[in-house]
Structure 1
Amino acid sequence: MSLGTTEGEDLAEYFRLQYGQRLVQLLQKFPSTEDHSDSPSIRLLEKKKEAKLMHHAMEQKKETFQRRMETLNLRWEELGVKEAQLKAHIQKFEQFIRENDQKRIRALKKANKERELKRQCMQELTKAKQEMAALRLEHQRLSAKLQEYSIFNKYLEKVVESSEFEEIHEVIARYNTLVSMHHDLMQSAQEGQEKVERAKARLAHYKEEKDDEILQHNNELARLQMRFDRARSDVIIWESRWAHIQNTAAKKTLLLGTIKMATLNLFQIVSKQLKEASSVSLEDTHKQLDTIQQFIQDLSDIWAEVKKKEQQQVRV
């Protein structure tokens, strides 16, 4: 019911859009009352006639449209049914394809597995054949050696007959013992030789170290000898300088003694001139010189005073 109502509304809207504008245009084409002098009743009849014709045309269009819509709905329903059938057919076909793919994959896996198993069997068969061939060659080689060593067996039997051994294996055991002893002796000799070589190497290293130490000591001895020679030459120089210093000191001491004697003589002369008891020690040369200097200064002052008085008398 709602579908029919919706279709009716859509149909009315369709006619309104399709013919509404056209009716307006037709009405605009009709002449106005000012242009024609026909009576209103005639114009009304014409308008009704035109409206009736228009309504009839619209009804026909509406019926045609409804029939087309019904046809379209039927076709749409048929298409929906066909679409559902097609979807079902596609689903069945996809299911069929998937099943075929799974079967094909299983068949491929089975074939690959069978090929791998066959390849492994062929490899094992080839390996077994190779091992069989190697065993045959080894059997032939051992047979040849057995044939070759048979003369040694005969020789060992003769040795047992002519010796203290009772069985061949005793001879072989004795031989193995001797071989082991020989090997031990050779190993001991080799170890002894290695020890000798190591001792020689240590001795050479020790001699090299001692030679280096001797060379270092010789260098140190040469350096010390150079220092000793330099020190001895310095001693000679300083001895000569010391002798020069002693000679110079003796001369200066003699000169100092002479100066002290002269100073003492002058001091005694000054003391006699002063006629005063002096408390200056005979060894105190500095004070004696001070006394002499003071005496000379006093004499100079007296002489200057005398000269001054003489000059004054001459002027008078």
Structure 2
Amino acid sequence: MLTAGALVAALAGRRDEFTTALSSAPLTILLVAALLQVVALLSRTEAWHLSIEAAGGTVARRILYRASSMQVVGSVLNGQLGVAARIAALRRSSPTVSPQVPTLIAAEFPILAVEASLAALTSFTLIGPLGLPWWLPVIVVAVIGTVSAGLRHLAAREGRKVWRGLAVLRSLSGGGRVVALVLAAVFAQIFRNWMLLHAVGVDASFFDAIAVLIAVVTLGQLPLGPGVGAAAAVLILGSEGPAAAAAAGVLMTVTGTVGGLCFATWAGGDHVWARVRLRRGQPNLDVARPAGEADGASQVTPSA
């Protein structure tokens, strides 16, 4: 409510500008933006799959992807709630072949560490829009670098289940694949922001699009609801025209939601299809081996 009230105050007397900017985005741009959101979701989900696999989970990829789609629902209110939703969905659908909850939580850290490192390295984009001192990004990079090094050190420990979630960091190839997938997800979102900003008439640079993404992710950790996109865009680019910036933020939220719903729709359809195949006596696509079981054995896991 506070976010909505602040946006209404910022747009007071600019209703026509906001409406014009909102309706100026071509449909093709909106469709491409939604597709880029799907690409980002798939890339991040595959990074999650690699992290869980390295932690000892043998969950079938289809089940894990369906569980990941539950994050779309939770993230509407809060990013952390989305993570909790997909972990709960995975444990519910595959309790015998997925790691324990502490390990699954730790499996998020390698992905979050890459995202935080990218945000720290590009935090200089916030200096101009927010009037931050030049040395603050240097401190942020140092802090994130120290935390990342600490995670790598903890990944070498094997005594506790929670550290198994960091196992993907033990190998250069595994860590490199996670970094590549997270990079693909992040750049898809940056390019989506840049497209939508230009579509509504905001003369934004690629660095501006990065700053907006950092603001969206940061504000998304707070229970601000669906107004996060508009609030972040106005915060970063409001000086260029709050109406157009807010319109771009709204379109970011809309296309992000549409992309997420496409992912969730696939997950629901795949769940139904798996059930139909079982009733027809066809091979189950959701087959995975419990951790530690011999290669020749297998177990049919329930559908998500």
TM superposition score category, shorter chain reference: under 0.3
Query: Hey, which of these two has a bigger chunk of helix by percent?
Result: 1
Larger radius of gyration between Structure 1 and Structure 2: 1
Q: Please report the TM-score for the alignment, with normalisation by the length of structure 2.
A: 0.16
Higher relative CO (Cα under 8 Å, sequence separation at least 6) belongs to 2
